């Protein structure tokens, strides 16, 4: 799934900074936030990615975010 690769690269580029679904969708020009959410779920717990509740580093909104260690 190509979107998964795009999301993985995007999150990895932000490094230890967490990012939320809407920002992932917006930055990657995805039409569907649900798609970004799905990709993020797939990534969580693998390849050093982790999901947790916190503040997004891009939009400052609190919620579920993902980051790469
Ligand atoms: Zn955000």
CA of 30 to the centre of ligand 1 (A): 14
| Rounded distance from Cα 28 to ligand 1 centre (Å) | 12
Residue with the larger pLDDT of the pair 47 and 52: 52
- Please, what is the end-to-end C-alpha distance for the chain in angstroms? 22
Q: What is the DSSP letter of 32?
A: -
Q: Tell me: the pLDDT tens digits for 3-27?
A: 889 999 999 999 999 999 999 999 9
Q: What pLDDT does 1 receive?
A: 62
Q: Domain locations in the chain?
A: 2-68
User: In whole angstroms, what is the distance from residue 17 CA to residue 35 CA?
Assistant: 21
Cα(2) to ligand 1 centroid in Å equals: 21
């Amino acid at each position: 799934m190509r979107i998964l690769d795009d999301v993985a690269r995007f999150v990895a580029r932000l490094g230890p900074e967490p990012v939320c679904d809407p920002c992932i969708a917006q930055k990657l020009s995805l039409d569907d936030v649900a798609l970004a959410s799905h990709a993020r779920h797939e990534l969580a717990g693998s390849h050093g990615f982790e999901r947790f509740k916190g503040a997004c580093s891009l939009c400052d909104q609190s919620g579920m975010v993902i980051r790469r260690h």
